Amino acid sequence: MASLRIQLIAFWLLLLGVCAGLGTVMVVLYQNSAGVQIGQARGLTQRVCEAIATRYQQSRTDAAAKPPLNLMQIVLQLALIEAPHVEGGVWDLSNGFLAYAYPTYEGGGTKRDVPEAERAHIAEIAHAAVAAQTVRTDILRGTREALVLTACPLPTPGNDAAAWTMTRVPAEVEAALRQLRVGLSVLLAALVISGAWVGMLLTRGFRHIQRLESALATQDLEADNVPPLKNTGVVELDRIISAVNRYSARLHTAQTQARTLLRDQAHNHRLTALGRMLGGIAHEIRNPIATMRLQAENALAASPQRHPDALQDILQQIDRLDRLVQNLLATVQPLQLQIVRVPLWEWLGQRRAQVASHAAARDITVREDTALTEAYFDPLHVGRAIDNLLDNAVRHAPIGGRVGLRIERSASGTLILRVTDNGPGVAAELRDHLFEPFATSRAEGTGLGLALVREIALAHGGDIRYLPQDTGACFELELPWRES
């Protein structure tokens, strides 16, 4: 698709071509009209006059005498018969008009007399040609016609004679010339005005478009309410602006609804998880209590030497119940986030230190990596989520295995925290309930760790997902990217 600029320039070039074509047509019409007949008549009278002089010289038998009048008349007749609408004659200083001919006269009869009205002017031009011994031409413009008169000296013994020719051109010559000038002026003015108009449209239109581009580029997409774009005064552009403003309003409404739905979803997930917890809680509490009861009964029936071992087992079960209660509280209580700037390398070192002893006991290599220097999130809660994921990775990686933690920014602009291991991965039957409470494949596990990770992700407006690998497991915690 061609741009508006190219289309307008093409239109102006087309208009230029049309004006040039019309101008050419007007010039051709002028050249074929009476407007150029004066120039043509002038050239014609000069050629005929010189032809008379040439024939006159060729007809002389005695260089010292003038040809007789009848011979002059024949010379005139022969020269003028080839020039339509041209009359002529011979004039000398002593006798005035000696001969006259108008063989192409279209009136009734044969015209034999020099036009009375032009006699004086003919004599004046002929006298000037004799005196200067050169061709003289004069044009007399009247209201109805223009008179073109030419005189050229004849080679007489005394150089005292001249031949003259005359023709008439209709007075429309001047009108045609004026019409041509007016027409060309109108075309030139139309071309200049159209060029200025197109240039103004281009300048004004693209200035408005650049302003719209700047306004759209500087819009704060994180703002609760994006201010509407201002109208430009150009109807077509204002229609586009109105459509953009309506779209912005709908987008704002949709974003508000999405945030509400996201909060409701997090709340519903929490309630659903709480409902599913009830059955698991009873089981998880019943087992430690039953163990403590059995140990206490055995200790009472046994000798005092066995009491310390029984008390130690009871304390372990109490610790198990305490961890269960802490995880339950973290799962069901709303999270209060504190979004701050987090130096990522320092924060990654803290995460590695949390699992260092556990990893060292199983000879697990833990590596962290990031190309970013800082990001904005809640370091405490996100730290708890990553610690849970790292603890699971260390538990499931084989002895001497590898665990990785990488932070990067995705192509869509979100913050990705990825934890990987080279263990067996998550069983297929457990994946659909992986982030639900008490969904675990370990006999001693509660399944609350991944549920807590999900709560932390949702509280940040992000998500947690498991990505199956050919070897091992990969968990991605995705958080919105924040500039502050």
Annotated domain spans of the chain: 33-170, 221-334, 336-484
Dihedral over Cα of 60, 62, 65, 68: its sign:
negative
78-92, 180-194, 369-383 — which is least confidently predicted? 180-194
Residue 176 has pLDDT above 70, yes or no: no
pLDDT band at 443 (very low <50, low <70, confident <90, very high): very low
Q: Give the pLDDT band (50/70/90) at residue 220.
A: low
Q: What distance in Å separates the CA atoms of residue 466 and residue 426, rounded to the nearest whole number?
A: 9
pLDDT tens per residue across span 403-425: 999 999 999 899 999 999 998 88
For residue 231, which phi and psi values (nearest 5 degrees)?
Answer: -70, 155
Task: Assign 1 a pLDDT band (cuts: 50, 70, 90).
Answer: very low
| End-to-end alpha carbon distance in the chain | 41
In 3D space, the residue among 284, 335, 332 whose CA is nearest the CA of residue 451 turns out to be 332
Instruction: Classify burial at 472, counting beta carbons within 10 Å of its beta carbon; exposed 0-12, middle 13-18, buried 19 or more.
Output: buried
79-88, 160-169, 238-247, 444-453: range with lowest mean pLDDT:
444-453
| Angle at CA of residue 475, ends 470 and 481, nearest 5° | 130
How far, CA to CA in Å, does 27 sit from each of 36, 43, 178, 182, 384?
10, 20, 12, 12, 91
d(CA 331, CA 325): 10
Rg, C-alpha atoms of the chain: 56
This model's pTM is above 0.85: no
Class (C level, CATH) for 336-484: alpha beta
Query: Looking at the domain 33-170, which fold is it?
Result: Beta-Lactamase (3.30.450)
Pairing of strands 374-377, 145-153: unpaired
Supply the mean pLDDT for the chain: 79
* DSSP state letter for 337: -
Q: How many CA atoms lie within 13 A of 260 on its CB side?
A: 6
